[in-house]
Amino acid sequence: MTAGENSVQIKKSVPDLAPLEAVLFDVDGTLCDSDPLHYHVFREMLPQIGFNNGVPIDEEYFIKNIAGKHNSDIAVLLYPDDIPRGIKFMEDKEAMFRSRLALENLPPIKGLYKLTKWIDDRGLKRAAVTNAPKPNAELMISKLGLKDFFDVVILGSDCERAKPYPDPYLKALEVLQVSKDHTFVCEDSVSGIKAGVAAGMPVVGLTTRNPESVLMEANPTILIKDYEDPKLWEALEELDKRIGSSKTSA
Shared domain check, 239 and 200? yes
Strands annotated E in the chain = 22-25, 125-130, 152-155, 183-187, 203-206, 222-224
Q: What angle, rounded to 10 degrees, do the helices at 167-176 and 190-198 form?
A: 50
Comparing C-alpha atoms, which of 144, 156, 193, 115 is closest to residue 33?
Answer: 144
**What are the strands of the beta sheet with 22-25, ordered from one edge?**
152-155, 125-130, 22-25, 183-187, 203-206, 222-224
Dmax (CA) for the chain in angstroms is 67
Shared domain check, 198 and 98? no
- State residue 9's pLDDT score: 47
The total number of structural domains in the chain stands at: 2
Is 28 in the active site? Answer: yes
Domain boundary among 80, 103, 126: 103
Shared domain check, 112 and 92? no
Residue 224, classified by CB atoms within 10 Å of its CB into exposed (0-12), middle (13-18) or buried (19+), is buried
Shared domain check, 209 and 140? yes
Tell whether 2 is covered by a domain. no
- State residue 12's pLDDT score: 84
Q: Give me the domain span that covers residue 126.
A: 15-33+107-249
Shared domain check, 235 and 114? yes
Shared domain check, 199 and 88? no
**Residue-wise pLDDT tens digits, 4-44:** 444 344 468 999 999 999 999 999 999 999 989 999 999 99
Q: Which residues of the chain have pLDDT under 50?
A: 1-10
Shared domain check, 129 and 241? yes
- State residue 11's pLDDT score: 63
Helix ranges restricted to H, 148-189? 167-176
- State residue 4's pLDDT score: 43
**Residue-wise pLDDT tens digits, 105-122:** 889 999 999 999 999 999
Tell whether 4 is covered by a domain. no
Q: What angle do CA 9, 10, 14 make, to 5 degrees?
A: 155
Residue-wise burial string across 172-185, b where 16 or more C-beta atoms lie within 10 A, e elsewhere = bbeebebebebbbb
Comparing C-alpha atoms, which of 6, 149, 137 is closest to residue 70?
Answer: 137
**Residue-wise pLDDT tens digits, 208-221:** 888 999 999 999 99
Is 167 in the active site? Answer: no
At position 149, the amino acid (one-letter code) is F
Catalytic-role residue among 26, 33, 188, 229: 26
